[in-house]
Amino acid sequence: MGLLVICRHGESEWNLLGKWTGWTDVGLTEKGWADSVRMGSLIKNIRFDEAYTSALKRTHQTLDALLEGCGMGSLPTTQAAELNERDYGDLTGKNKWQVKDEIGEKAFNGIRRGWDYPVPGGETLKDVYARVVPYFEREILPKLQAGENILLVAHGNSIRALIKHLDQIPESEMEHVEMSFGQSLLYTFEAGNNLPTKKEILSVNIDPVNA
Ligand SMILES: O=C(O)[C@@H](CO)OP(=O)(O)O
């Protein structure tokens, strides 16, 4: 049996400003760090074998904070661009809440949470799924099936893509799938099963993040 814990990075500098971040490599705020340390205390009873992060530093910093919170010194870690946030293209750096006021809630929700909603110069969630899930199946799943415990730190939308696969959620339902700050997912894998046999949600109470 292998355990997969999936954590979203803590609040970043651009989350705080309400800006679409995508592939922009900004760091955590003090709150993002402190929330992640508290999140780490929820997983201190799991003996992790290795960690995966995206190539963006907000996931590296979150992993460090999680390890501090769970009292672990360090873990062998793989940084993979396949786990990066959705590339928000021309929307990168724009203020989400101003755009929402300009285009209305329905179009805004379509852009943010739709399955195949194009953004000029960027990726759809479907594009994100096409890089995240093959990477997961190739690099991480065999280790879970072999009994390793893995800590994966990624982003709102790269995690939503992975949830679609792990929970077998239809495309039409994806607009309702969120990965909230302060929440981690614990999946159990058994040898021979490509999908998890159990899912638990671990949450810490945090003040809302502006994203
Ligand atoms: O800014 C981003 O890159 C993402 C995640 O914070 O935004 P959204 O939640 O709108 O997909």
Q: What is the ipTM of this complex?
A: 0.96
How far, in Å, from the CA of 113 to the mean position of ligand 1? 9
Task: From the CA of 19, give the closest atom in ligand 1.
Answer: 1
190 CA from centroid of ligand 1 (Å):
32
Q: Which residues contact 94 (CB under 8 A, 6 or more apart)?
A: 19, 20
Report CA-CA distances (Å) from 4 to 143, 190, 206.
10, 11, 23
Whose Cα sits closest to atom 11 in ligand 1?
112
Q: Ligand 1 centroid vs 73 CA: distance in angstroms? A: 30
pLDDT band of residue 210 (cuts 50, 70, 90) is confident
Question: Among all residues, which ones are annotated catalytic?
Answer: 9, 85
Q: Strand 50-53 to strand 77-79: parallel, antiparallel, or no bridges (unpaired)? A: parallel
pLDDT of residue 7: 98
Return the structure tokens found at 131: 């890089």
**What percent of the chain has pLDDT above 70?**
100
Q: What is the pLDDT of residues 90-99, one digit of tens each?
A: 999 999 999 9
Residue range 134-168, pLDDT digits in tens: 999 999 999 999 999 999 999 999 999 999 999 99
Ligand 1 pocket (Cβ < 6 Å) reads 15, 20-22, 85, 88, 96, 112, 156-157, 211
Map out the domains of the chain with their CATH numbers: 18-195 (3.40.50.1240)
Residue 201's pLDDT is: 97
User: Span 118-134, mean pLDDT?
Assistant: 97
Give the pLDDT confidence score for residue 208 in this predicted structure: 82
Residue 115 is assigned to a ligand binding site? no
User: Which amino acid, residue 155?
Assistant: H
Residue 154's pLDDT is: 98
10-58 residue pLDDT tens: 999 999 999 999 999 999 999 999 999 999 999 999 999 999 999 999 9
Test site for ligand 1: of 24, 108, 119, 157, most ligand atoms within 8 A of the Cβ: 157
pLDDT value of position 64? 98
Contact 206, 182 (CB under 8 A): yes
CA torsion angle 56 62 68 71 (round to 10): -100
